Structure 1
Amino acid sequence: MTASIVKVDPVVRRGDNVCLSRGEYRILKGSATFMTSTPTITALIVAAGVGARAGGERPKQYQEIAGKPMIRHSIEAFLAHPRIGAVQVVIHPEHANDYAEAMAGLTLLPPIHGGAERSDSVKAGLAALADQIPDYVLIHDAARPFLSASVIDRIVEALTPETGVVPTLGVYDTVRRYRDGVWEDVSREGLQRIQTPQAFPFGALTEIYAKGAFATDDAALWLAAGRVLKYVQGDEALNKMTTA
Structure 2
Amino acid sequence: MPGISAVVPAAGVGSRMQTDCPKQYLSLAGKMLIQHTVERLLSHPAINTVIIAIGAKDTYFAQTGLSEHPNVRVVLGGATRATSVQAGLEAVTTQWVMVHDAARPCITHSDIDALITHAQSHDDGALLAAPVRDTMKRANAQGRVAYTVDRQALWHALTPQMFLTQTLKQALIQADDTVTDEASAVEAIGGQPVLVPASASNIKVTHPEDKWLAEFYLSQQEGKS
Kept in 1: contact 2:13–2:23 (CA 8 A): yes
Kept in 1: contact 2:40–2:105 (CA 8 A): no
Pairs within 5 Å for 1:39-78: 40-78=3-41
Unaligned runs of 5+ in 1: 1-21, 24-39
Any idea what the Cα deviations from partners look like across 1:100-124, whole Å, max 9, x if unmatched? 2123564443311111111010111
Kept in 2: contact 1:46–1:118 (CA 8 A): yes
* 2:129 equivalent among 157, 162, 168: 168
Equivalence for 1:128: 91
**TM-score scaled by structure 1?**
0.77
Cα distance in 1 for residues equivalent to 2:65 and 2:156: 30
2:170 aligned with 1:207, yes or no?
Answer: yes
Cα distance in 1 for residues equivalent to 2:11 and 2:53: 6
Higher share in strand:
1
| DSSP-derived class of the 2:21 partner | coil
| DSSP-derived class of the 1:204 partner | helix
Equivalence for 1:114: 77
Kept in 2: contact 1:73–1:147 (CA 8 A): no
Kept in 2: contact 1:45–1:139 (CA 8 A): yes
Kept in 2: contact 1:177–1:186 (CA 8 A): yes
- CA 1:207 to 1:185, structure 2 compared with 1: closer, same or farther past 3 Å? closer
Cα distance in 2 for residues equivalent to 1:152 and 1:145: 13
2:97 aligned with 1:137, yes or no?
Answer: yes
Q: Aligned partner of 1:99: which letter?
A: F
Q: Whose RCO is larger (CA < 8 A, sep 6+)?
A: 2
Equivalence for 2:196: 232
Unaligned runs of 5+ in 2: 212-225
Equivalence for 2:63: 101
| DSSP-derived class of the 1:228 partner | coil
Q: Paired residues, what number?
A: 203
* Identity level (%): 33
Tell me whether 80-89 or 68-77 shows the greater mean CA deviation: 68-77
Any idea what the Cα deviations from partners look like across 1:142-179, whole Å, max 9, x if unmatched? 11111111111001111236121101111112222322
Any idea what the Cα deviations from partners look like across 1:28-73, whole Å, max 9, x if unmatched? xxxxxxxxxxxx2101001110111112221110001232211111
- CA 1:226 to 1:80, structure 2 compared with 1: closer, same or farther past 3 Å? same
Higher share in helix:
2
| DSSP-derived class of the 1:190 partner | coil
| Displacement of 1:208 | 2.2
Q: Which has the larger radius of gyration?
A: 1
Q: Aligned partner of 2:187: which letter?
A: L
Equivalence for 1:157: 117
Cα distance in 1 for residues equivalent to 2:18 and 2:141: 32
| Displacement of 1:85 | 1.0
